[in-house]
Every structure is written in structure tokens, then in C-alpha cells.
Structure 1
Amino acid sequence: MNLPRGMKDFESNEQAKIEFVRQKFLETCKSFGFSFMSPSPIELVSVIEAKSGPAIRDEIYFFKDKGDREVALRFDFTVGLTRYVVSQKSLKLPAKIASFGGVWRYDEPQKGRYRYFHQWDIEVYGKPSLESDAEIIEFTSKFFSKLNLKNIVINISHRKLVEAVVKKIFESDEARVVGDIFRAIDKTQKKRKDEILTEYDQKGYPKEKLERILEFSKIKGSPEEVEKEFDISGLDAWKELKDLFASLKNRQVNNVIVNFGIVRGLDYYSGVVFEAFDSASDVGALVGGGRYDNLPKAFGRDDLGATGVAGGAERIVLSLESQGLQMPDAAPTVSVLFVNDEMLAPAVGITSKLRQMGIATEMDIVGRPFKKQIEAASNSRFAVIVAPKEYSSNNVIIKNMGDGSETIVSVDSLLSQAESLFIR
């Protein structure tokens, strides 16, 4: 029997790696003072459309429930968290909220992104401030550091700055023109320049102006380098970007660059936007985020600013694996083996006591011969062998499954020193 297209089963080792990312995320949340919650996995379609418009129906799983209401599976966490915060009139601000869990998207499956995947998310709600934007970017940088990921570069831009340049080059304030050109900029990460020029020439946009904006979108570097390459005089948002970089420097966040090719959600973000990449990988953006003050307004709160960031856990796992970083798998730390049936009862007792001490312990429960038990224990770090001769003296054998070395210890020592014996 087959699964629907874009869906998959997460096997134990995959789930263990996702849980590793989740634990590091929770540790980072704690150090930054983010509270953790899980918004509803089902939303009204009308609520999701408030963020992304009616076109979002092409990208979500939606259906009518038994009450004939149009509902949808959770597309991301931002919608649910913003809906929740907007409804809590007495919530103390600024509110710093984090979530981790599964989301569903009806888009084309790709590397590291199925139609169901695991996402982490943090949001800051309250009076709009540059330091709130700096906080989520610092969180992103420190989270990747906690994962020991290298080669992470955070690319930062500003929607208002890019919009001002588009309006100047195309000599138009028309929303349709700005939206079209933003889409052209967004395509530069996926399509060749000549393909974009051909597509937009057919839409009636002058080639010379398109080339100018595409060249602008390639500008990257430190604020100092950008100022040498492009005349940013008269662009108010540039000061905001420079102030943001100054705050990040003070926070010891150095893996950041300006990249005017980052625009993100075309009708959604309202200020600073950013994406983070593993520069040694082709897996795509690991995270994306920015300021989105428009969404609380769409939900009826004009007094509430919002900024946040989210990323897929599976893509992070791909980067961890590509860099050869060790993550825990589902294999137990210890396997308890019994040589014959008489040793079954003491083996069960030892197994239970080790588990009570918090040590991941496995043992045979179907009566396999000792040789088969050893084969099954090959993925464990250690084996505790309960054998008649040794156990008659209240001893057991500890076998290191990595190098094959064996040590005889007393059962009392095993249980009193288990952490030092196995967790190292």
C-alpha cells in the first residue's frame, strides 16, 4: 500500500535526529527567554487567507468539516501564534513565543522538504523595534552554533529599501509593478538571468530596467562594501539596516551579510527580511524570517508589531549530515544479554534497574539464543552479559561493542556506577 505523494514515514533514526534538533532548539529558547507553546494544528481557511490571500489554497491541505466549515491543516506556526496573541488582550508585551512541530504544505516535494515536515519557529510581538529584529537574528545564529553547524551565513535585506529602488528604476508606484519586479528578484535564486529577462520582456517590462534591478539584486557584502558598490543616499531604510548590523556586531553575531536579492513573502513582510544558508551545501535556505507588522493588522490589532523566523528541521539534519556531525540515533546505549534461560530473570532485573536510572537499555523479549542476542546488540555501545559462572559470584561481563574489550564487574558496582560506566 502506498502513501499519498509527498508524504513519508519517519523511521526511528530519522526521528531521533529531528528530536536532537528539537532539543537544541528548546535549549536555545530557554537561554533567550522564549516561552514554548503549540498552536492548533487546524485553522479556519479564512484565518490562513488573512496572511497569504486566496491563492494560498493552492498550497495548503483544506477541507470541509462535519459542521460544513472550511478548515485547513497547519501551514506554518506564524498564523496560529499571531491569531492567539491578537486574541489575548491582557498578554504582557513584548511576547516572545516559540513552537516546534509538524506542518503540511501542498507544494512540490523537494530535497529536505516533503509535504509534511517539522518546523521550528520563534516570534516576538509588541512595539516594533530594531532590537526585536536583532534578537531573532541573534537567536538564529546562536541556534546554529549550538548545533555545531559551520559555514552558516545569514543574508539580510530590507523590503522597504528594495521597494524604493524598484519604484525609482521603474518610475512607478503601482503595486502591480512592484509585485512583479519583486517576483523577478525572487526568481534569481532559481532561474538564469536570460530566462527572467525573456519572461518579463513578454510582460512588457523594458530590458534595460530589468537588467539594472537584477544587477542590484546581486549586491552582497558588509554594509561598508555595499556603500562602495551602490549609491544608497536618500534611502531611509538603509540607516535601519546599518543600525541593525551595529546591534548584531554588539551581540557578537558576525556571520551576517547584506543581500538585496532576499525579498521573501511578497505581500507579507514589511521591513527587515533574512534567510540563512549553509554556504557549503546546495540544500537551499535553512531558515527564513523578518518583520511582518501587516499580519496583526489583518487580524485587527493596529497596535502590535511582529517579527519572527522559522526553519525546517529536516533541512538542518541534511546539513548536519553533510558536515559529518554526530547526532544520536535510536540505538540503545546498553543491551543486556543472558546466556541461558536460567539467567533470564536476573537479566530482566538488571535491565529494569538500568532503565530506572535513565540509561537507554534493551534486552531480548522473544527468547532468542545467545548468539542471536549478540548480533542484535551490535548497534549498542555496550553489552551487559549475564552468564552462569560470573553471576554465581554476583558479577556480570561488560562488553564494549566498539572495540570488543570485556570487563568483569560486580552487579552492585554496575548499578552504583552505571553512569560513569556507560555515559561517557
Structure 2
Amino acid sequence: MNLPRGMKDFDSAEQSKIEFVRQKFLETSKSFGFNFMAPSPLELVSVIEAKSGPAIRDEIYFFKDKGDREIALRFDFTVGLTRYVVEQKSLKMPAKISAFGGVWRYDEPQKGRYRYFHQWDLEVYGKPSLESDAEIIEFTSKFFSKLNLKNITIDISHRKLVESVVSRIFGSADSQTIGDIFRAIDKIQKKKKDEIISEYTQRGYSKEKLEQVLEFSKIKGQPDEVESVFDVSGIQAWAELKELFSSLKNRGVANIRINFGIVRGLDYYSGMVFEAFDSSTSFGALVGGGRYDSLPKAFGREDIGATGVAGGVERIILSLEAQGLQTIESAIPITVLFVNEEMARPAMNIASRLREKGLAIEIDLLGRPFKKQMENASNSKFAVIIAPKEYSQNQVIIKNMSDGKEAITQVDSLFSNVDSLFTL
């Protein structure tokens, strides 16, 4: 029996890693005042098309339900959260919402991403504001710090700025031309320059102009460094981008730079855009986001804008592992052992009572010999041994499995002094 292509099972170890990232995400989003929610895993296809157009059908899982409605599995969280906010007419603005969970995409499976994967997401809705943009980027930086990830660079740009340069180079503000060249720029991180030029010259674009715009897309650095190599005078949105950069510096975000090669592929972005990379790996962008005021408008709300960010959890886990960082946080298990069959019942009782104290407890369920139980407890920090002689005196043995030291304690003390008895 096989799974559908692009799907996988997540075993206990993988699920623990996902939960590790989830907990760090929840801690960070709480510290920024975001409200956590879970949007529906099913959407109407028409709702998803409002964000990405009819072509999105090639990238999603969709079907007709028993009411003959076209339904899609959740492609991301932005659509569902925006739909929700638009529906809540009385929602106080700005609305800061976070989400975490699984999404489905009919993409070609790749390292770090199957067709079902996990994603975290933040959105700020309300009156468009530079500080809302800065908040989203600051969160991203602080979240990676909380994960202890190193070598993270956050590249920021502005769609209107890049659009004005593209329009100047190609002598056209035509939306089709702008869209095509944006996609060419977006591909520069994934494909060779010659391949991109070959693809777009075949579509009728000037090789010389393509060369010029791709050279522009390589510009990156601090604002003064950018100004030293490129004439930004009269360039739309440069002042706004510099102000955003200044706000982030004021917030203590140091791992940022301007990168004109960041445009984000989706057409609905309308302002600031950014991506974050682990410079010590070649996994590509760990997160991406930006301002997308057009989406709430597509859903019928002309009075609010939005800015957000989303990241793939599995790809973040790959970076954590590549940097040799801990990806599992769990209680160190304690194993309750019984010396003979007669001691099995009281051992079960003691195991259950220790679990009520919030401890992670293992106990043999098959009645195996004591020697075998000891072998299986080798990964535990402590063992609680229930033996006939000691138990007849209402006592148990606590064994430190690291150094082999043993101590005898009263059963009542076992439950009243768990913190002192089971210490590292």
C-alpha cells in the first residue's frame, strides 16, 4: 500500500521537531501580542482564486463536494485569515493574527517540502502603516533568535520601487510586462542568468534590457551602499524603504539588508516585500512576506490593508539540524520497573500516580523479565524499581541510570518530593 505522491507520514521524532518549532512560534507571537487562531482547512475555490487568479488551480488540491460546490484544501493561511477578518465587521483594528498548521500544495516535491507540509503565519490588518511592516519583520528576526538559528539574513525590498525601475528600463508600465519581468527577477535565485535571458528573449523581450534589469536585481547592502552604486534619485518608494530600514534598526533588528532581487512571485504584493535566508545552507528562503493591501479589497474591504509573513516549518527544521541545534524539547522519561509479576500491579499504580504529577513515565506493558525491562530503560534518566522486600516496607528504589547510584525512599515521599528526587 502506497501513499499518494508527495505525501508522507510524520513519525514521532518528526512530530516532536514540528512541535518544538510550534512552541517557539507561539511564545514569540504571544510576546508580540498576536492572537492565535486556526482558519478552516477547506475553502471555496472562488475564494482562493480571489488571491491568486484561476491559474492557482494548477497548484492546489480541489474537488466538488456533495453539494456540487468547488472546494479546495487550504493552500496557505493568508487567504483564510483575510476572509475571516473581512467577515468580522466589528473586529478592532489593527488586528494581529497568527496561525500554525498543515497546508496542501500540488507542487513538485522537493527537499524540505512535500505536497502536505507545515507552515506558520502572521498577519496584521488595518490602516496601512510602515510600523506594521516593521513589526512583521522584527517578529521574523526575533523568532529565528528564539530558535537559536545563526547566519540569518533578512532581505527587504519594495515592489513599487522595482516596478518603477523596470518601467524605466523597458519604457512601459504595462501590467503584463511588469509581471513577466518580476517573475524573471524572482527566478534569479533559482536559475542561471543565461537560462532566464534565453527564456524571456524567446518571449520577445530585449536581451540588453533583460541584462540591465537582472544586473539591477543583484544590488544589495545597507542604504548608503546601495546609494553609492545606484542612482536612486526620483525612484518611487526609495524614501519609504529607507524609513522602514531605519525603523528596524531602531527596533534592534541588525540582520537586515536591502536586496532589489527580492520581489516575491505572487502578483498581489503591493509594497514592502522580504525574505529570510540561512546563509550557511542552500535551502532557499526560509520565510517570505510583505504588504498586500489588494487582497482585503478583493474580498470587499476597501478600508483596510494587510501585511504578513509565512514560513515553512520543515525547511526551518532542516536549517536547525544543519546547524547542529536541538530540535526536540521533551521531558526526560522516568521508567517504572517491577522485579517480578507480583510487583506489576503496584508498579502500574505508582506509574499512574507519577503521571498525575506531570512526569513522563514509561512502564513495561508485556510483563517482560526485569532484566529486559532494565535494558529498555537504558535511555531513561531515572528508574523507579518496585521490589518485594522494599515494597513490603512501603519503599521503592530510585536508580540514576547515568551513574548507577541508587537511593531508597518511602512511597509517600516519591509523590510529595518529585522535584528533589528526580533532578539532573
Length-normalised TM-score, structure 1 = 0.96
- 1:319 corresponds in structure 2 to 319
Deviation at 1:265, TM superposition (A): 3.1
- 1:116 corresponds in structure 2 to 116
- 1:187 corresponds in structure 2 to 187
Is the contact made by 1:125 and 1:307 (CA closer than 8 Å) also made in structure 2?
yes
Residue 408 of structure 1 aligns to which amino acid in structure 2? I
Equivalenced residue count is: 424
- 1:344 corresponds in structure 2 to 344
CA distance in 2 between counterparts of 1:305 and 1:311 reads 21
Larger deviation, residues 157-166 vs 398-407 = 398-407
CA distance in 2 between counterparts of 1:30 and 1:330 reads 21
Is the contact made by 1:179 and 1:266 (CA closer than 8 Å) also made in structure 2?
no
CA distance in 2 between counterparts of 1:408 and 1:107 reads 59
Q: 1:2 to 1:405 in 2, by over 3 A?
A: farther
CA distance in 2 between counterparts of 1:375 and 1:257 reads 54
Is the contact made by 1:182 and 1:266 (CA closer than 8 Å) also made in structure 2?
no
1:109-141 CA-to-partner distances (Å, cap 9, x unmatched) read 111111111111110000000000000111111
Larger deviation, residues 8-17 vs 379-388 = 379-388
- 1:178 corresponds in structure 2 to 178
CA distance in 2 between counterparts of 1:147 and 1:78 reads 23
Deviation at 1:23, TM superposition (A): 0.9
Secondary structure at the residue paired with 2:21? Answer: helix
Is the contact made by 1:290 and 1:307 (CA closer than 8 Å) also made in structure 2?
yes
The sequence identity of aligned pairs, in percent, is 77
- 2:43 corresponds in structure 1 to 43
CA distance in 1 between counterparts of 2:121 and 2:397 reads 47
- 1:5 corresponds in structure 2 to 5
Residue 286 of structure 1 aligns to which amino acid in structure 2? L
Deviation at 1:310, TM superposition (A): 0.7
- 1:230 corresponds in structure 2 to 230
Q: 1:329 to 1:35 in 2, by over 3 A?
A: closer
Is the contact made by 2:183 and 2:265 (CA closer than 8 Å) also made in structure 1?
no
- 1:289 corresponds in structure 2 to 289
Deviation at 1:342, TM superposition (A): 1.9
Residue 248 of structure 1 aligns to which amino acid in structure 2? L
- 1:200 corresponds in structure 2 to 200
List structure 1 runs of 4+ shifted beyond 6 angstroms.
none
Counterpart check, 1:276 vs 2:299:
no
Secondary structure at the residue paired with 2:377? Answer: helix
- 1:54 corresponds in structure 2 to 54
CA distance in 2 between counterparts of 1:308 and 1:106 reads 23
RMSD (Å) for aligned C-alpha atoms: 1.5
CA distance in 1 between counterparts of 2:60 and 2:19 reads 25
- 1:365 corresponds in structure 2 to 365
Secondary structure at the residue paired with 1:144? Answer: helix
1:364-415 CA-to-partner distances (Å, cap 9, x unmatched) read 1121111222222233332222222333443333333344444433333332
Residue 183 of structure 2 aligns to which amino acid in structure 1? R
Counterpart check, 1:32 vs 2:55:
no
Matches within 5 A, 1:42-191: 42-191=42-191
CA distance in 2 between counterparts of 1:317 and 1:262 reads 23
Residue 108 of structure 2 aligns to which amino acid in structure 1? E
Is the contact made by 1:333 and 1:422 (CA closer than 8 Å) also made in structure 2?
no
Residue 289 of structure 2 aligns to which amino acid in structure 1? G
- 2:422 corresponds in structure 1 to 422
Q: 1:354 to 1:258 in 2, by over 3 A?
A: same
CA distance in 1 between counterparts of 2:343 and 2:352 reads 14
Deviation at 1:193, TM superposition (A): 1.0
CA distance in 2 between counterparts of 1:349 and 1:82 reads 50
Is the contact made by 1:41 and 1:73 (CA closer than 8 Å) also made in structure 2?
yes
Residue 410 of structure 1 aligns to which amino acid in structure 2? Q
CA distance in 1 between counterparts of 2:351 and 2:33 reads 38
- 1:240 corresponds in structure 2 to 240
Length-normalised TM-score, structure 2 = 0.96
Q: 1:25 to 1:386 in 2, by over 3 A?
A: same
Deviation at 1:330, TM superposition (A): 6.7
Residue 161 of structure 2 aligns to which amino acid in structure 1? L
